[in-house]
Structure 1
Amino acid sequence: MKRSNGFTLVESIMAMVILGFAMVTLVSFLYPQIERSATPHYQTRAANLGQSLMSQILARGFDNNSDFDGGLIRCGEEGTSCTAANNLGRDGSETNPSQFNDVDDYKGCWWTDSVSDCDGATLRAPLSNILGSEIAARYAHFTVTIDVNYDTATMKKIQIKIDTGRYGEFDFTGFRGNY
């Protein structure tokens, strides 16, 4: 009687069942870890975008009625009034960030690949850099909401909220003084 070297049918089926259970267990433990590994990436990108936008906004003037040539006349002085709180935002001539001259021009919703998160925002625009070039493709699924309001008569509060979808929302706050 010649003995064959190999597996029997029963042994082969048992090996496949054990291997199947091992794969299911391995995938069920590893898959959530892989998905969570993207979170720090989105956090870093949101932090960089938020810091960049805040720096860009704070580099602008306090108000559209301020003197931008040396700041000798500030709004609220010498017969120059500041923009009313209910009129903060862009005027008709300012269509992209390269034309913005004061902090409240950025007020609104800046979107990338959809505007579903911009409900209720009156000002909407694709996400752009300081030169007015669209950067929405680099920040897929990000939505940026910028709100600018008077904190005091001489301070504007800038609030930036960056929504990265399922990876979280990130808030940034800055103040621009009338000086």
Structure 2
Amino acid sequence: MTIMIIGIAIAGVVGAFSLASQRSADPLIQSQAVELAQLYMDEILAKKYDDATPQGGTPKYSGSCSIGPNGEDRASFDDVDDYHNPDVSPPANAEGVLSRYQGFSVSISVSCAGADLGLAASEAKRVDLSISTPNGQTLVFTAYRVNF
């Protein structure tokens, strides 16, 4: 009888450890996803507001809001909306594949979003960045790039 009780107790403890070990990688994967999102956002938000924005940003761009690459390849993206909709797996920057993020994928959507901020539609762009992790989670990050 004692052996049965000990056996049941051990099975319960092993089951608890099994559940804990399955979830132990989640925080690491989530922190890698946040790090990857930061890499992409830093790169995107450092670019010009629009292709027609002069170097240095002055005078301010005064055209309509346009979205999408202007025929450039990834290495020569020069404004925020060039990043619209590339689904990247494995993730890469302008220099090549980011090997640390194997199993992750990135999707970027850029839209005209001045109204979200109480501005004219052409005055802001919204960048939505979705990071899909190897364990199937999707984390979404949003930033605004304002025409200034």
TM-score class, shorter: 0.7 to 0.9
- How far the C-alpha of 1:30 sits from its partner, in A, is 1.2
Question: Does the Cα contact within 8 Å between 1:42 and 1:167 map onto a contact in 2?
Answer: no
Q: Which consecutive unaligned segments of at least 5 residues does structure 1 have?
A: 1-14, 113-126
Q: Looking at CA atoms only, which structure, 1 or 2, has the larger radius of gyration?
A: 1
How does 1:1-179 map onto structure 2 within 5 Å? 24-68=11-55, 70-76=56-62, 81-84=63-66, 88-92=67-71, 94-96=72-74, 98-108=75-85, 109-112=87-90, 127-129=91-93, 131-135=94-98, 137-152=99-114, 153-166=122-135, 168-179=137-148
- Residue by residue over 1:76-103, the C-alpha shift from the partner in whole angstroms, topping out at 9 and shown as x without a partner, is 2xxxx3453xxx22122x212x311001
Aligned residue pair count: 139
Question: 1:67 Cα deviation (Å)?
Answer: 0.9
Supply the AA of the counterpart residue of 2:139: F
- Which blocks of at least 5 consecutive residues in structure 2 are unaligned? 115-121
- State the AA in 2 paired with 1:90: P
- Identity in percent: 30
One-letter amino acid of the counterpart of residue 58, structure 2:
L
Query: C-alpha root-mean-square deviation of aligned residues, in Å?
Result: 2.3
TM-score, L = length of structure 2: 0.80
Equivalent-residue separation in structure 2 for 1:67 and 1:163 (angstroms): 35
Q: What displacement does 1:176 show?
A: 0.8
Check the 8 A contact 1:148/1:159 in 2, yes or no.
Answer: yes
- What amino acid maps onto 2:140 in structure 1? D
